[in-house]
Amino acid sequence: MTPDPRDPRPLIGEPLALDLLNTRWAGTPVNDLLDGVQGYGIWLSSNGLDGRCTADGAGLAAILQAREAIGLAFQDLRDQGELGPGARSGLDAVLDHGRLRRTAGPGGPEDRAETDGPQWLAPWIAVDDLLALLAQGAPRLKQCAHEACILHFFDASQNGKRRWCRMAVCGNRAKAARHYEKAKG
């Protein structure tokens, strides 16, 4: 999938749940792609959802609720190693707006998300994606190790030891800082 060329985010293309978290990135103040309907439209486009979801105020409010729930879940995983009651409740509040419908399609079973309204489709898919990622292994859900970075990624490396959202940026910054401290000290 090709990201929308208007998408200003430094890390694009992570699984949908993490890509939603990455709509906020480091800056002073923190940058937020979802600070308005236009940014929501860009996010939908970057994720191939613009043909299925409409960028409007109701959709923006719903996706912000999903981002908050996913963020709380991620914080619980990082701090406690598991989802706490508040995180589970937040995720379930989004999931309550939809369901997965299985049908017999011409090529076999087909799954289709059905939601209470169109504004809930993207949020429901994002939270469902988080559950799928958790099933692959919660320790693979990570935040960049650079202290100034707030981006998230799914560690698909063979050994599960990826530390940086992008080695070329955050990894090199950390290496340069360590080198500077060694040389200084």
- What is the pTM for the complete model shown? 0.89
| CB neighbour class for 165 (10 Å; exposed up to 12, middle 13-18, buried from 19) | buried
pLDDT for 179: 40
pLDDT at 50: 96
Cis preceding-peptide flag for 15 (omega within 30 of 0): no
- The pLDDT of residue 144 is 94
In this prediction, residues 10-16 reach a mean pLDDT of 95
Please state, for a pLDDT cut of 70, what percent of the chain lies above it.
91
Q: Where is mean pLDDT largest: 26-30, 83-87, 138-142?
A: 83-87
Say if residues 132 and 69 touch (Cβ distance below 8 Å).
no
CATH topology of domain 16-137: Jann2411-like fold (1.10.3300)
Confidence class for position 174, pLDDT limits 50, 70, 90: very low
The burial class, CB within 10 Å (0-12 / 13-18 / 19+), for 170 is: buried
Residue 50, burial from CB neighbour count under 10 angstroms (0-12, 13-18, 19+): middle
The pLDDT assigned to 173 comes to: 57
d(CA 47, CA 8): 14
> What is the token pair recorded at 150?
């707030």
pLDDT score at 41? 98
**Sequence spans of domains, the chain:** 16-137
